[in-house]
Amino acid sequence: MSGSHRLLLCASAWLLLGASLVLQAAEFDIEEARTYLEGGTYRLDADIDLALSEQALEALDNGVPLTIEVRLRIRRDGAWVWEESLQADQWRYRIRYKPLSERYSIDRVSGGEIDSFVSRESALRALGTMRGLRLVDADRLATDEDYAVHLRVALDIDELPLPLRPIAYLRPAWKLESKWTQWPLRR
């Protein structure tokens, strides 16, 4: 193999490695989650890495609001697929860039601004830091059963502006979601 062929092969390998790292970087990941009992109610603390793709970051920086959906289920440990969840919740948050103030804001879709941030990174970090979310009242849990908490986070493509939706449905860079993460509900 000649030197130019080896150089071309090495360059191709580096490009493929770089492309795979970019693809791996754009995903949501539930890094840590814990539940605790406070005043007769179970609560959730979670740390989520919201790594947006370059396309999503560009859209956000150009004023396109992004809606992040957090889904949670509490199920009996070992429940069959068809068994109903004890509790099923979803929280929806919108992050947007406001060019006039040059700030990023996060608000609950159901109403109410949560906070405003100077940088995109601090806004995404704050959005991924969930503290004290109400889960279920302790008296709803059977004392002889164990329960598992399931959590998933995703970008809601249906909330994007209409002209952007077809592109988002077809391009993998817009399919940002975590896997369902499960852990025991600590009593």
pLDDT confidence of residue 10 = 39
Ranges of residues in the chain with a pLDDT under 70 are 1-26, 112-113, 187
pLDDT confidence of residue 1 = 57
In sign, the C-alpha dihedral spanning 172, 174, 175, 177 is positive
Q: Are 165 and 158 in contact (CB under 8 A)?
A: yes
pLDDT confidence of residue 18 = 44
Q: What is the pLDDT of residues 127-173, one digit of tens each?
A: 999 999 889 999 998 888 899 999 999 999 999 999 999 999 999 99
pLDDT confidence of residue 167 = 93
pTM of the predicted model as reported, rounded to 2 decimal places: 0.79
- Which of 58, 51, 74 minimizes the C-alpha distance to 155? 51
pLDDT confidence of residue 39 = 93
pLDDT confidence of residue 22 = 42
Question: CA dist 155 to 52, 113, 183, Å?
Answer: 9, 19, 22
